[in-house]
Structure 1
Amino acid sequence: MKRSIALTLVSVVLLAGCTAPLQTGSSDGGTVGPTISVSATGTASADPDLAVVHVGVESTADSANTARGQVARTVGRVRTALSDAGVPDADVTTTSFGIAPVYDYGRGERELVGYRAVHAFAVEVGPDRAGEIVDLAVGAGATSVDGVRFTLSDDRRAELRATALDRAMDAARADADGIADAAALSVTGVRRALTGAEFVPVPIARVESAADGGETVVRPAPVTVTATVDVTYSAR
């Protein structure tokens, strides 16, 4: 008389605090052993190596063409000042341009009073030159400074992301090993691994106010790149 022996496969799962279904088979009909699924996060920080200064020029005139011409002349002076300071033309890019009518509604009806032209652009420089670029642009006629953003160049961002991913995978394996020990199992390999979207918060810059006629000083905070992984390990 033959006896049936029932095998129970135990799957230990930890994925963002949720329990995943027990894996007992594969798509081709074969069997799989226990699995352990974990989520982990890794971070890497560095000082920013790129500053983006957003400046703009605005002018209002009786006609659209006059407003456009006034803005064009001022933008030309700003670009010349930046070029003289060693900023390549390729690092000064237009972010927006527009001309629109200006109306006065003070008398209960719409009255055309002129036209406003706006030309905004971004200047990419090293972080230590951000304050200098603000002063140069304003001194040459820029009418607005719409912010200074500190960030990472593409190469530096890629380096930090690789480091953050390595740390996330190390943390995932450590968690998986801990779970396996608690369940009297051992991790044997990676069955599946996914990474989430990269998160890079904008660092908060500190602006130091100088006395009249002094220089603008902008000091950035470090930039942190965060990477997440979801990993499923084989166990036995």
Structure 2
Amino acid sequence: MPDDITHPLEEYRFPNLKSLSIAEVDSFPWIRRLQAPNLTVFRFYTEGDGNLDNDCTEFLRSCKLLATVEVKVGQNCIPLLAQVVPNILHLTLRVKESHLLSITHWEEGGHSVTLPFPALRTLTLCYEDLDSGMINWQYFDELVEKRCLPRSNVASKLDSSLSPLQILAISDFQPTSINSVHYHTATVRIIRESLGIFSAILSWTLDRDQALAQDPELIGYIFEYQLYEIASPRSKPLPMIT
């Protein structure tokens, strides 16, 4: 990156850049000057409250090929994110709130707005600094009904314009705290544990081999864990693998 980026009109083109990760900053004001027309993966971890500033949103708007986004974001920023990158396929949200209804719908002035992220295939929720006992499992079940269950499932509330998510992943929870109906109906459950922190990769549409064949980068940092066991209603649990 050039040392001097103070010229107000100068832009910096990176036509071969496919993946960009920015971590541990409060803001990134010169991101608007970057031109990365072929960027497909964007990760942005701020130390602030998770609000997306104008510089960041303008940069995201310019990246027409983005497919994978991983950000720390607040509840009120999800509608903005959905408007800026509506057609992404893979989304990882690092959140401090367990009740993120704007992932499934939101309203403005009492009117429902178009469902967010209509092309989404995988969604990962990383609960940061949230006691596992505070996870809203009622919201989790609502999310599964509206975005994960195939229409053949009697509990499905999937909109006719959407396809069900292939994978829903959650992190930082304790299995003993689970109070969910649909968690236990997943056709695939891949449970991972590291230093007492549990994560789950769930699917109601894929089989076990299909779930394991997913590119780890598409499901966020959950796949960094080295130990895992595989559990499925259709097969016996496998032993821990290192």
TM-score by structure 2 length? Answer: 0.22
Structure with the greater relative contact order (CA < 8 A, sep ≥ 6): 1 or 2?
1
* Greater strand content: 1
TM-score, normalised to structure 1's length?
A: 0.22
